[in-house]
Amino acid sequence: MTGYDAVRGRMNPPGDGVSETAPPGRATPGNTASDWPAPAGSALLEAVAVMDRLRSPGGCPWDREQTHASLLRYLVEECYELVQAIEDGDAAATREELGDVLLQVLFHARIAAEKDSGDGGFDIDDVAFGLVDKLIRRHPYVFGGPEERETLTPAEQQVRWDQLKRAEHAEPSPLDGVALGQPAVALAAKLGARSAKYGVSVPLPEGDSVGEQIFRLAFTAGARGEDPEQAVRTVARAHAARIA
């Protein structure tokens, strides 16, 4: 059984009324693969092939010399450009920027594939299957057997997700999954949210420096379930429009 076959079997477990030959994510009871020209995502194979060509001998000299570290600035820039496109409600720009973010995923996976697995190497299939495995594992009420399926509200689903995530770690920490490299206001808010969730009480910095004052505001907002990063961005973009 291939990795794809295993994933397909977990997505459409026996007895759910969905044909085993139908493309994942597009299947309805009674349909078969012949009813669809190609599964959604088929073009991703072409994107992978293009990235491989660019990185291979005879490809692009600039692409071939890049490393994980040298690409970091582009990854951050592309994510921010995607954020702006979404905030602007620009569908065409959003589609383009999603492609640029996808390029970064393909690029980093291709670089990693040049190492042996024993040295930490992995490829794009490892990335994809890792994601699929996590999503299926964290959604037993969707992909599990009849005894595991249940109807949850979005709030209940979030609680269930957190429970499953904690169960995967022997000693869960309030900082598990917190990206310390994220923007400062977002990081302070995340620390506030995690402290509230785990019941951690650590005195906040009491100084009057700009950083300490902003940290306290963002931390407190995060603990209340608010998003100060987005709030400041909204105010800043409105002010930028006035300046323009």
CA–CA separation, 31 vs 6, rounded Å? 20
Of the candidates 20, 42, 44, 45, the residue with the CA atom closest to the CA atom of residue 33: 20
Domain count, the chain: 2
Of the candidates 150, 188, 129, the residue with the CA atom closest to the CA atom of residue 11: 129
Assess whether 142 and 58 both reside in one domain: yes
Q: Which is more confident, 173 or 41? A: 41
pLDDT for residue 162? 73
Q: Would you say 222 and 190 are in contact if contact means Cβ atoms under 8 Å apart?
A: yes
In eight-state DSSP terms, residue 23 is P
Assess whether 138 and 17 both reside in one domain: yes
In a domain, 45, yes or no: yes
pLDDT for residue 5? 55
Residues 152-176, mean pLDDT to the nearest whole number = 75
CA–CA separation, 35 vs 31, rounded Å? 6
In a domain, 146, yes or no: yes
Residues 199-227, mean pLDDT to the nearest whole number = 96
pLDDT digits (tens, 9 = 90+) for 36-60: 567 888 899 999 999 999 999 999 9
In a domain, 13, yes or no: yes
Assess whether 140 and 86 both reside in one domain: yes
pLDDT for residue 130? 95
Q: Confidence band (pLDDT; 50, 70, 90) for 158? A: confident
Q: Confidence band (pLDDT; 50, 70, 90) for 22? A: very low
pLDDT digits (tens, 9 = 90+) for 80-118: 999 999 999 999 999 999 999 999 999 999 999 999 999
**Is the pLDDT reported for residue 205 higher than 90?**
yes
In a domain, 93, yes or no: yes
**Is the pLDDT reported for residue 211 higher than 70?**
yes
Assess whether 121 and 194 both reside in one domain: no
In a domain, 158, yes or no: no
Assess whether 10 and 121 both reside in one domain: yes
pLDDT for residue 47? 96
Q: Confidence band (pLDDT; 50, 70, 90) for 169? A: low
Residue range of the domain that includes 89 = 3-23+41-150
In eight-state DSSP terms, residue 181 is T
How do the residues of the chain divide into helix, strand and coil, expressed in percent and rounded to 5?
Answer: 60, 0, 40
The kind and range of the H/E element at 92 are helix 91-112
Assess whether 125 and 17 both reside in one domain: yes
Assess whether 189 and 146 both reside in one domain: no
Q: Would you say 205 and 216 are in contact if contact means Cβ atoms under 8 Å apart?
A: yes
Average pLDDT, the chain: 85
Assess whether 15 and 116 both reside in one domain: yes
In a domain, 163, yes or no: no
pLDDT for residue 201? 92
pLDDT digits (tens, 9 = 90+) for 114-152: 999 999 999 999 999 999 998 988 888 788 777 666 777
Assess whether 56 and 106 both reside in one domain: yes
Assess whether 18 and 132 both reside in one domain: yes
Assess whether 193 and 111 both reside in one domain: no
Q: Confidence band (pLDDT; 50, 70, 90) for 27? A: very low
The CATH number that applies at residue 68 is: 1.10.287.1080
Q: What is the pTM of this model?
A: 0.71
